[in-house]
Amino acid sequence: MNTEILGVIATYGLTLLLAWPLARYIVKVFRGDKVWSDFLLPIEKLFYKISGINPKEEMDWKQHMKALLTINLVWFVYAFFALLFQDKLPLNPDGNPGQSPDLAFNSAISFLVNCNLQHYSGETGVTYFTQLFVLAFLQFVSAATGIAALIVVFKAFKDKTVTQLGNFWEIFLKTITRILLPLSIVIAVILIFNGSPASFAGKDTIVTLQGDTVNVSRGPAAGFIAIKHLGTNGGGWFGANSAHPFENPNYIGFITEMVAQVVIPIAMVFALGMFIQRRKFATVIFAIMTIGMICLLIPTMQAEMAGNPALSHMGIQQLTGSMEGKEVRFGPAGTGYWSTVTTIISTGSICGFHDSMMPMTGLMQLLGMMLNCLYGGCGVGILNYYIYIIIAVFISGLMVGRTPEFMGHKLEAREVKIAALITLLSPFLILAGTALAAYVLVHHPDASWAVKPGAWLNNPGYHGFSEMLYEVTSANANNGSGYEGLGDNNVFWNVSTGFVLILGRYLPIIGPVAIAGLMAKKKYIPESAGTLRTDSVTFGVMTFAVIVILNALSYFPALALGPIAEYFSLYR
Amino acid sequence: MKKYLLPSIKLTIVLVVLLGGIYPLLLAGIAKMAPGEGDGVTVTHNGKVVGYEQIGQKFTEDKYFWSRPSAVDYNAAGSGGSNKAPGNEDYLKIVQERIDTFLAHNPEVKKSEIPAELVTASASGLDPHLSPAAAYIQVARVAKARSISPEKIKQLVSDNTQPPVLGMLGTPTVNVLKLNVALDELK
């Protein structure tokens, strides 16, 4: 068998093997069982003491959300000003300038919401100080925010009738000290021993074998790369992200980073079943998510390995598939797998440039981000899937003529309204945002921004439209990958995607937590013969159908103008 | 809101110290034991550092194996791909020019034998590798430019080929810089 495909299968298999024990560990941590990492308890206690937090104080869902939003606001203010004045702060060996206000706004928000759009380039747009103390910091805490919100929902599912759902600070801090930090250290050490730099040395100057003088950017990148994947953040240390040979040095680095980015999202699905003791319910969800991923993965790998038809037409060989914007050490199969995983979960790191991939691949990437629930980002993936479950329960209830119930609680108008609003939010943001960008491009091509709208696009025609659609979709999904040809460092894109990022992050967290919190307060109804079973294969298929139909209806016209039209013009 | 503000600020400060300060310092310490001591692994020739093992460099002379085209001209203080779409007409013209240049320097090679990676830009612009096929196709030119037998050079490519992980996962690669250093050391 082809060694590239074998590499992909082995990487996925290894992920599953590691996700299971990780899930058991996560459940033990949040149930409060004894675990090996309890030796960290004194440090956590010290943190509570300094911060004036009582970790035993129980909170209801509203208090959880208030704490979550408050600390997020603090991070935003801190990040914005640090990026703005980074040229005056220490640890800037390469002498990089401060960010413009609109860029600092965009960068702060996009790292705050676990997106990492990065309208700057890592080598020149940030300093070691902001990379470490602002961006890497936000990569940890934004992932922990998502996981903490999910754990609150787990707690709401678990008990029959409950209002008190644990302490936000405790769940949040434990996510960092017990899960993200130890795993990051392991991943970073593997990368260091495969060639990723980790010292604080600045640029080096060398004379190459052929006699050219070249500057080489370096820096303490390994730790950043570890949390960028474990936290499904995706923002790279270097401009070329995980395609950069320092950021992703070889195939072992590839496997390590691939496992790191999807292991927590998968483990959280397993953990759901263990935590609420409904294994079958979680198994069905896992199966549906996996089937969804495979539906996106196969066309992607097929298209990339077959190569670019326009190059075949020129009469050269494409034995290794389409190679524009790809690295030899990963090959098109591995790069295709990466591009699927990074778009279904909200990482958005890349090991090959999406802008240069085949139109079929682009379609799959866009779909992955539009669904945003196949495994999904740290914590938020299951929250997004949960909304689809609510819609599916509601529709099934209508179909069989029974009051819809979920986890032993009645699902009523209020909850369904919230779910419907969250479902409509994504198409609204994506389609309206893209339409606005296209309008500005056509009617105001000479607006005097840092990049004129007329010069935004790096490619003409349908693909140019896809560049704008991709940018807004990525912002809404908090993904962070991009069609990087788009000239996005200007006031229009920085501000517009900034607002899309905020709405696309916080409403889809608050909505599901509110639904779960509201339902958990209601009277518990024991299961009877008349209960719609949500852990059956039938219900799994029903949820899958809801996901497909909702998204097809929302996005088909936009996709037809972009990747689908490009496909038919390239393969004519 | 007020109730949560002070704990938020204090917790943020201690976490910034832990995650932004202690964590990377710990890793920089561990990296002292790794090859390259966390500064990146260098390649030396005649006692002089001629580059980093991971960072590709430009080779355009006939006597060296060429590296892949780069959208950033192998500027290792920047990085990136062309971001050109597969059907972009301007892009296809550039590829055609690269094909013509390659054929002019390699008269022994037929167009249908040129591997796509030699006429397409890599993602990072710093790709240090070639596939074995893309190295072997250049053997005749290098042999002629150096007046060495092609067999000897083929052997060198074979010696510098890194097989897939465990022989079965991923792609085989040839590090262009190491191969060219080995070429210079042949005599």
Q: What is the mean pLDDT of residues A324-336?
A: 96
Is residue A525 classed as helix, strand or coil in its secondary structure?
coil
pLDDT tens readout for residues A341-394: 999 999 999 999 999 999 999 999 999 999 999 999 888 999 999 999 999 999
Closest CA to A144 of A375, A376, A373, A379: A379
Segment among A433-437, A448-452, A526-530 with least mean pLDDT: A526-530
Q: Both B100 and B128 in a single domain? A: yes
SS3 category, B129: strand
| DSSP E strand stretches across A70-189 | none
* Assigned domain for A209 exists: no
Q: Which of A10, A52, A78 sits opposite B169 (nearest CB)?
A: A10
Same domain, B11 and B78: no
Q: Do A317 and B112 touch (CB under 8 A)?
A: yes
Q: How far is CA A61 from the centre of its chain?
A: 24
- Residue A524 is classified by DSSP as P
Over the stretch A491-521, which tens digit does the pLDDT of each residue have? 999 999 999 999 999 999 999 999 999 999 9
User: In this complex, do B80 and A239 lie within 8 Å of one another by their Cβ atoms?
Assistant: yes
Which structural domain, as residue segments, surrounds residue A496? 3-204+214-570
Output the pLDDT for position A508: 95
At A461, which amino acid appears? G
Which of B14, B83, B131 best tests the A interface by mutation, with the highest count of A CBs <10 A? Answer: B83
Spatial contact of A225 and A196, defined as CB atoms under 8 Å apart:
yes
A456 CA: distance to closest CA in chain B (Å): 13
pLDDT in tens, B151-179: 999 999 999 999 999 989 999 999 999 99
Rounded CA separation B46/A96 (Å): 35
Enclosing domain of residue B21: 1-39
- The verdict on B5 and B81 lying in the same domain is no
Which pLDDT belongs to residue A529? 79
pLDDT over threshold 90, residue A287: yes
Q: How far is the C-alpha of A286 from the C-alpha of A273, rounded, in Å?
A: 10
In this complex, do B99 and A326 lie within 8 Å of one another by their Cβ atoms? no
Q: Residues 533 to 562 of A: which have CB under 8 A from any B CB?
A: none
Count of C-beta atoms within a 10 Å radius of residue B167: 8
How confident is the model over B70-74, as a mean pLDDT?
Answer: 95
Which residue, A14, A364, A187, is CA-closest to B165? A14
Residue-level pLDDT at B1: 67
Which among A140, A198, A215 has CB closest to B19?
Answer: A140
B84 and B140 co-located in one domain? yes
Sign of the four-CA dihedral A42, A46, A49, A52: negative
Q: Evaluate whether A524 touches A340 at the Cβ level (below 8 Å).
A: no
Chain B hits for A317, Cβ within 8 Å: 112-116, 133
pLDDT of residue A1: 60
Give yes or no: residues B32 and B85 share one domain.
Answer: no
Give residue B174's pLDDT. 97
| Site of tokens 């068998």 | A1
Same domain (yes/no): B109, B99: yes
- Provide the number of structural domains found in chain B: 2
Contact B95 A192 (CB under 8 A): no
* pLDDT value of position A35: 95
Q: Does one domain contain both B77 and B146? A: yes
Q: Give CA torsion, residues B84, A296, A117, A182, to 10 deg.
A: -130
pLDDT for A401: 83
Is residue B31 located within the same domain as residue B68? Answer: no
Q: Are residues B50 and B17 in the same domain?
A: no
Summarised one tens digit per residue, pLDDT across range B178-187 is 999 999 998 6
Number of domains making up chain A: 1
Number of A/B CB contacts below 8 angstroms equals: 376
Domain co-membership, B107 together with B153: yes
Q: How far apart are the C-alpha atoms of A456 and A466, rounded to whole Å? A: 12
Rg (CA), chain B: 22
Residue A470 tokens read as 């991709």
Q: What is the pLDDT of residue A527?
A: 83
Q: How many other CB atoms are there within 10 angstroms of residue A365's CB atom?
A: 27
pLDDT band at A530 (very low <50, low <70, confident <90, very high): confident
* pLDDT tens-digit series, residues B95-114: 999 999 999 999 999 999 99
pLDDT at A379: 86
B20 plus B109 within the same structural domain: no
ipTM: 0.96
A468: which chain B residues are within 8 Å (Cβ-Cβ)? none
Average pLDDT of the residues of chain B: 95
- The DSSP bridge partners found for residue B165 are B169
- For chain A, give the percent of residues with pLDDT over 90: 90
Cβ–Cβ gap A6/B168 under 8 Å: yes
Q: In this complex, which of A71, A123, A223 lies closest to B23 when CB atoms are compared?
A: A223
What average pLDDT does the structure give for chain A?
A: 94
B100 and B156 together in one domain: yes
Q: Is A271 contained in some domain?
A: yes
Q: At what angle do helices A137-158 and A491-520 cross, to 10 degrees?
A: 20
B28-40 residue pLDDT tens:
999 999 999 999 9
> Do the Cβ atoms of A546 and A388 come closer than 8 Å?
yes
- Taking CA–CA distances from B81, the nearest residue in chain A reads A325
- Please, which residues 163-202 of chain A have a Cβ atom closer than 8 Å to chain B? 169, 173, 176, 181, 184-185, 188-189, 192-193, 195, 197-201
A244-275: per-residue pLDDT in tens? 999 999 999 999 999 999 999 999 999 999 99
